Amino acid sequence: MSSVEVVFLNLERTSCSQCGIAFAAPLSWVNERRADGKTFYCPNGHHLVFRESTETKLKRQLESKESTERRLRDELAAAERKASRFKCTACSRDFASAPKLLAHTRKAHNAPLRLPKDAGPTATNTDVRSV
């Protein structure tokens, strides 16, 4: 007596873009071809490939734009921190270097100045007074 094995497969129906023949393939295999983009063949031998879906392409573009936006936001924040590094606390004027800020503070405000700890290699966190 012979035995019969029953197998259930989920198939996806598709058609060849060149000859139009309709055929079906196992769903798991079709999903793998969609994911890896490898070439497959229709029953008549035509080369076929699943291109990136519009949804996947749009998701990839969105992720790229979000990544660019994060990078630009970080660069802007760094530039703002750097620009505000030498700011006069009395008049909010910006200076390119610590010595220029010190000279301005002595001349314009005749007041001591405390520089931030990260103000640069020449700056110290001490009071500056005129002699």
Q: Where are the domains of the chain?
A: 11-48, 84-122
The architecture (CATH level 2) of 84-122 comes to 2-Layer Sandwich (3.30)
Residue range 121-125: mean pLDDT, rounded: 50
Residue among 68, 61, 23, 63 nearest 42 (CA): 23
C-alpha to C-alpha distance for 31 and 68, rounded to whole angstroms: 30
pLDDT of 69: 96
pLDDT tens digits, 38-97 = 999 999 999 999 887 788 889 999 999 999 999 999 999 988 877 667 888 888 888 878
Total H helices, total E strands in the chain: 3, 4
pLDDT at 129 over 80: no
C-alpha to C-alpha distance for 37 and 53, rounded to whole angstroms: 11
* Full-model pTM: 0.41
pLDDT of 108: 85
